[in-house]
Structure 1
Amino acid sequence: MPSHNPTGASRRPATDRSRTLASTTTTEFESATYAKVTWRLLPFLFICYVAAYLDRVNVGFAKLQMLSDLKFSESVYGLGAGIFFIGYFVFEVPSNILLHRVGARVWISRIMVTWALVSAASLFVKTPAMFYTMRFLLGVAEAGFFPGIVLYLTYWYPSVRRGRMNALFMIGIPVAGVLGGPLSGGIMQAFNGVRGLSNWQWLFLIEALPSLVLGIVTLFVLPNGIRAASWLDERQKQLLEDNIARDEHAGAEASLRSIVSNGRVWRLAAIYFCCMMGLYGVSFYLPTLIKAAGVKEALDVGMLTAVPYAVAIVSMILVARSSDRRNERRWHLAMAAVAAAAGFYASTLHAGNLALVLFTLSLGTAGVLSMMPVFWTYPSSVLTGTAAAAGIAMINSIGNLAGFVSPSIIGWMKDVTHSTNAGLMVVAGALFVGAVLALTQRAPSVTTPAAQPSRA
């Protein structure tokens, strides 16, 4: 009768326990590594984006006084607000390719210092032609910043993590609204006439200073990539590089010509255009809409504009986490677009009711901003390397042409109809089209690493 072998019986569970322990150790190491990268990079990039977005849209607050001081019409304002994106469009692809070639540290620093100087110089505007010129130059100066950061994050994070990382970075938009609203309103109320300058002139000058300082600091704190990060050890660098290499194997390197002829890239650009119609409609006109609901004081307008952006912060995080957890992009993107369209349309039905205006604009703003981190998981899953640099910039620059179209349409329609309602309905329609286009997209490929990612 064969004897029982206790050694053999106990060996298998020991082996299983060893494998489990090794897997747990690997997961913990990976989680700790990505947490370290996130805490080193994201807070600084986030602060830079807050400063960038504040300089881009503070003209919406300047408008409250600048139009009467300079005798500008709503159409002049709308065209000037939007012409920023013509300069942005022309120079964005070259800027992103240069960032990929010369390194993020120097190029992002150059972008920030240049736009700070141009933004501050906007205080000298006297005529519509000067206004158009300064807004165009600001677009040229800032071209490449946002897509450059989106590209930069692909150097560090695989696709399975990018939804959350994009959200953490892009929360800079609503945070700029939460902080910038009260700040801009306070500057407008406190600095009018100080040293012979109007409040809108002080607004441009004061809010340019953070970008200037951050641009200089960038040279000292931002590594060009994984190998340049002195705060990572060799094992951590290898882990990050292996995960990125696995991701890039699933993507596609391509020439600039093939990108331009890629139908999927154009569809993504169209979806992003619809998203930006909503974003810049609210960014350039939210103070006007709040004031039209019966709020008179600049500081009160600024405080209330923070409400929709505060709601959007929560929404962005929840939607991005849900999208990453389920590895699902299409429906998250489409439903956010539908919510945005519904919110902006509903706001036209209650223009005189402040509470309902805030509620509907909060829904619209949250929907638009929740689209962004989910959307930007698509391009980096389709393209890699130089193709990603050019493709991301192309999608962003075409999409941001909506920043020219949206305020121009709203401004022109306000001059014609004496109301922003018609313009907001156009914006709502564009967002609904974006939802339909999102549902026609193939789901992006997501390469899941061997270890389950943390929520860092």
Structure 2
Amino acid sequence: MNSHLEKRVMRKVTLRIVPFIMLLYFIAFLDRVNIGFAALTMNQDLGFSPTVFGLGAGIFFLGYFLFEVPSNLILHKVGARIWIARVMITWGLVSACMAFVQGTTSFYILRFLLGVAEAGFFPGIILYLSFWFPAARRAQVTAIFMAAAPLSTALGSPLSAALLEMHGLLGYAGWQWMFMLEAVPAVIFGVVVLFFLTDRPAKAKWLTDEERAWLQNTMQAEEQARAVKQGHSSVWRGLADRRVFALALVYFGTSAGLYTLGIWSPQIIHSFGASSMNIGFLNAFPAVIGVIAMILWARHSDRTGERSWHVIGACLLAAAGLIYAGNVSSLLAVILALTLVTVGISCSKPPLWSMPTLFLSGPAAAAGIATINSIGNLGGFVGPMMIGVIRQQTGAYTWGLYFVAGLLALSAVIVFLLSANSKTPQAAELAHPKTPHAKTH
């Protein structure tokens, strides 16, 4: 293998693709969870109870669930460039409409439609990365891409808090300005995607002929190796594989934790007496630590070739942080607890998302990844909703945080059982993936 050529190609591909898709995910995550900051004033303006808010925030994921697999299959057929552009433009328009919510019904409808509009974006990007990066590099690249989520919290929290201060300008509430202005980048960059994104290596005019040939040969060799091991690739194969369902359950727990943080942490911090602007900066701190930890953890996972224990350890850390958050009595302690949760959840995702494309390819990969993401993201519905319901019943966040901690512990148990079942060759491969490197001829 020409290691100099490999390094040159991977550097070009990384610099071309990763910063751009990070920016797209940054925008997506911000539009998905800015409801948490809006709630600081919107809930009072519209008379929303904790249960109504929790249900409305989480109902996004029902729309996401229903349209995720069809959306990813369309992306696989028509290409990432056209479909991701469509996704971004429509979710930007729907997100802007959130500024005009009048009551419970319109709140539920628009959050559901936002999920429908955004369905397919995240699994589409995960699938897209599998077209460009060999499996041995994928966890680290995925980590860099997924760092956009905690970065979105780190940078978006102060921004959202600042936009809330626009209250009264031109007769609109601060939360209305926040929804309208934070939706604009999605529409703009949706158009940019049409001109910037390249669907496949074969179309990459920004690579030389030699570089393009090396990348195509490498990715084709990996796909052929998977096809030999797994047999015929089809949508139904991706949907029927038991490992897909197992990983969906694992992702369910991590999603419950992620969106409990994204949607409820501003209000949890607010309960300790912090102002809106202070919440913006305090909520950013755990996210910054999460970004650093995620990249280092994924690099270690790639270097060792181990995935399962990297997921298990991270899930257990997040569960411990949630339990701690349910028992703290000071602002400093709750920030420490939220930092532990953020680090755990952030670190669990890159090694987890490196698993599906080790045993799925082609249409099976498109269907399998979308299934994992759609079922798993229902945790984003259950977690925030249960926090709201339990808080309204008990007057505190404690038992809701315990509930989400239990889901994360269950995720860790499922990965352990899957990896421990070494009698099954497929499970053993999932626990300790070894991907052959393609040779350049």
The bucket for the TM-score relative to the shorter chain is: over 0.9
Q: How does 1:398-409 map to 2 (within 5 A)?
A: 398-409=375-386
Matched, 1:153 2:129: yes
Q: Distance in 2 between matches of 1:446 and 1:172?
A: 28
Alignment correspondent of 1:9: none
- Whether the 8 Å contact between 1:51 and 1:210 is mirrored in structure 2 is yes
Q: Which residue identity does 2:346 align to in structure 1?
A: L
Match of 2:434 in 1: 446
- Partner secondary structure for residue 254 of structure 1: coil
The residue number in structure 1 matching 2:405 is 428
**Residues 159 and 381 in structure 1, CA contact (< 8 A), matched pair in contact too:** yes
- Is 1:303 the counterpart of 2:281? The answer is yes
Q: Distance in 2 between matches of 1:321 and 1:182?
A: 29
1:100 correspondence with 2:73: no
In the alignment, is the contact (CA less than 8 A) between 1:309 and 1:365 conserved in 2?
Answer: yes
Match for residue 183 of structure 2 among 178, 187, 208: 208
Q: Which residue of 2 aligns with 1:4?
A: none
**3-state SS, counterpart of residue 232 of structure 1:** coil
The residue that corresponds to 2:21 in the other structure is 45
Within 5 Å, give how 1:127-146 maps onto structure 2. Answer: 127-146=103-122
- Tell me, what secondary structure is at the counterpart of 1:155? helix
- Structure 2 residue aligned with 1:283: 262
* Separation in structure 2 between the aligned mates of residue 199 and residue 212 of structure 1, nearest angstrom: 21
The one-letter code of the counterpart of 2:209 is E
Match of 1:320 in 2: 298
1:332 maps onto 2:310 in alignment:
yes
- Select the residue among 48, 65, 88 that pairs with 2:41: 65
Q: Name the count of aligned residue pairs.
A: 425
Give the alignment of 1:183-262 within 5 angstroms.
Answer: 183-189=159-165, 191-251=166-226, 252=230, 253-262=232-241
Q: Identity, % of aligned pairs?
A: 44
Q: 1:263 and 2:238 equivalent? A: no
Residue of structure 2 in register with 1:8 after alignment: none
2:352 — aligned with what? 375
Which amino acid letter does the alignment assign opposite residue 159 of structure 2? Answer: L
Q: Is the 8 A contact 2:222 2:438 kept in 1?
A: no
Contact kept, 8 Å, 2:312 with 2:415, in 1: the verdict is yes
Counterpart among 391, 396, 402 of residue 368 in structure 2: 391
State which of 117, 132, 141 in structure 1 corresponds to 2:93. Answer: 117
Q: TM-score, normalised by structure 2?
A: 0.94
Letter matched to residue 113 of structure 2: L
2 CA distance for matches of 1:450 and 1:260?
28
1:158–1:243 contact (8 Å) kept in structure 2: yes
CA deviation after TM superposition for structure 1 residue 380, in Å: 0.7
Look up the SS of the partner of 1:436 in the other structure.
helix
Q: CA deviation at 1:250?
A: 3.2
| Cα deviation 1:159-215 (Å, max 9, x = unaligned) | 1010011001000100000010100011112x0011010011001001001111111
Determine if contact 1:308/1:358 at 8 Å carries over to the other structure. yes
AA in 2 matched with 1:293: F
Assess if the C-alpha contact under 8 Å between 2:356 and 2:365 holds in 1: yes
Which has the greater radius of gyration? Answer: 1
CA RMSD of aligned residues (A): 1.3
Cα shift at 1:256: 2.7
Which residues of 2 match residues 84-95 of structure 1 at below 5 A?
Answer: 84-95=60-71
The normalised TM-score by structure 1 is 0.91
> In 2, are the aligned partners of 1:246 and 1:447 still within 8 Å (CA)?
no
**CA separation in 2, counterparts of 1:429 and 1:391?**
25
* Structure 1: gaps of 5 or more residues: 1-22, 452-456
Runs of 4+ in 1 over 6 A off after TM superposition: none
User: What is the aligned partner in structure 1 of residue 424 from structure 2?
Assistant: none
User: What's the secondary structure of 2:37's corresponding residue?
Assistant: helix
| Alignment map for 1:331-350 (pairs within 5 Å) | 331-350=309-328
Q: Distance in 1 between matches of 2:21 and 2:34?
A: 20
Identify which of 234, 251, 254 aligns with 1:272: 251
